[in-house]
Amino acid sequence: MIKSLVIPVINGFLFATKVAIIVGLEEGTARLARTFADIQKTHLMKALSSCGLHKAQPASHADLMERIADTGAVITPYAYGREALRFRFIGRNDLLASWCNTLLVVEAGMKSGSMYTARSALHL
C-alpha cells in the first residue's frame, strides 16, 4: 500500500529535478533502483559500497552494482579486498549523509543503518 503511494511521488520528484542519485546498494535502495530502471537514462547514479570494490555487498546485488558502474560510479572509502564489517557500514553511511542535500529513506527499522544515516544527515 505505502509503496504504491510513495513510488509515484518519488518518480515525479526525480524526473522533475536534475539530481544525482546516491544509493548504498542495500535492500531498499536496490528495490527502488530496479523499480526505476529509467532513472539511469536521465540521472547520474552513484553507489557507495561498504567494502572494497572487489565485490558487491550484498553479493546478490552484483548485477545492480555493475549496471550503476556502467553509467555512473561505484565509490568506496575502503581499499580493494576490505570486507564489509559493521563499522564500515557506519562509515559508509556517514559519507552518504555528508554528500546529500536531500536524503530519502526508502524503508528502515528504527535501529537500522538507514535511520542512522538520516540522524547523521540531520546533525550536519
72-82 confidence digits (pLDDT tens): 889 999 999 99
DSSP annotation of 119:
H
> How many folded domains does the chain comprise?
1
Mean pLDDT value of segment 41-64 = 85
**Which residues neighbour 56 within 8 Å (Cβ) at sequence distance 6 or greater?**
25, 49, 62, 64, 65
**1 pLDDT higher than 50:** no
> Who wins on pLDDT, 2 or 38?
38
Mean pLDDT value of segment 13-32 = 68
In terms of residue numbers, what domain contains 55? 2-122
Cell of 108: 528502515
Q: What is the CATH number of the domain that holds 74?
A: 3.40.50.450
**48 pLDDT higher than 80:** yes
* In contact, 29 and 106? CB cutoff 8 Å: yes
Whether this model's pTM surpasses 0.75: no
